[in-house]
Structure formats: structure tokens, C-alpha cells
Amino acid sequence: MSNRFKPKFNIRKGDTVVVVAGEDKDLSKPRKVLEVRPDEARVLVEGVNIVTRHTKPSAQNTKGGLVKKEAPIHISNVMLWDASKGAPTRVKRERKDGKLVRIAKKSGNEI
């Protein structure tokens, strides 16, 4: 993806989000973002989209076998969690003291 039209996302690594669509949809269970992949518009969320990987024995993993791990989901399927309201929220950006700040639309608090 070219840097000229690179999309900007309001979700960052370490944020608390809620899955709003898909197999792991749960609007009441906040989860942590492990990784954001802006080029693919995907996020890796803790405990979401678990896939089974068949691995061959290697030097690091002498046993091999089945390994369960998280796979990335599309960024549109998650919403930021507003801890003060206890609900998912949308985000707006404002400039404060020359810095871009994320603000939760539901409570108006800074994230």
C-alpha cells in the first residue's frame, strides 16, 4: 500500500476493544489489542479468531502437533471500549496543544 493514501485508524496496540461482528461477537467483553496491521486494515485481538495450526517438529518445537493461536480480524469488526461508560464507543480526533488526541464520543473523555 502506498504511503500517499495510507488510512488512519483510531485503534492502537494496547487499546481495549469489543468485537462487534463475526463469530467472536461479544459487546460486553472488552479485550486487548495485541497488534495493528494498517497495511492490511486488520488487528490481532487477544482470544479472538482462534485458528489451529499444524506444525512439524523443529529445533524450537521438538514435539510439533496442533498449535492454537489468534489470527487477525478486520479493523471494522472492532470498536473501542469506553471504560467510564462501560460500553463501546466511536472516536473523534481533536488537536490539543499541537497534538492529535483521541476522544470517546460516548463520554467525551480523552483516550
pLDDT tens-digit map of 3-24: 787 788 999 999 999 999 999 9
As given in the structure block, the three cell numbers for residue 78 are: 472492532
pLDDT band at residue 1 using 50, 70 and 90 as cut-offs? low
As given in the structure block, the three cell numbers for residue 87 are: 460500553
Q: Per-residue DSSP letters for 53-98?
A: EEE---SS-SS-EEEEEE--EEGGGEEEEETTTTEEE-EEEEEETT
Exposed/middle/buried for residue 5 (C-beta within 10 Å: 0-12, 13-18, 19+): exposed
pLDDT band at residue 36 using 50, 70 and 90 as cut-offs? very high
Per the CB < 8 A criterion, the answer to whether 77 and 53 are in contact is no
- The full set of domain ranges for the chain reads 16-82
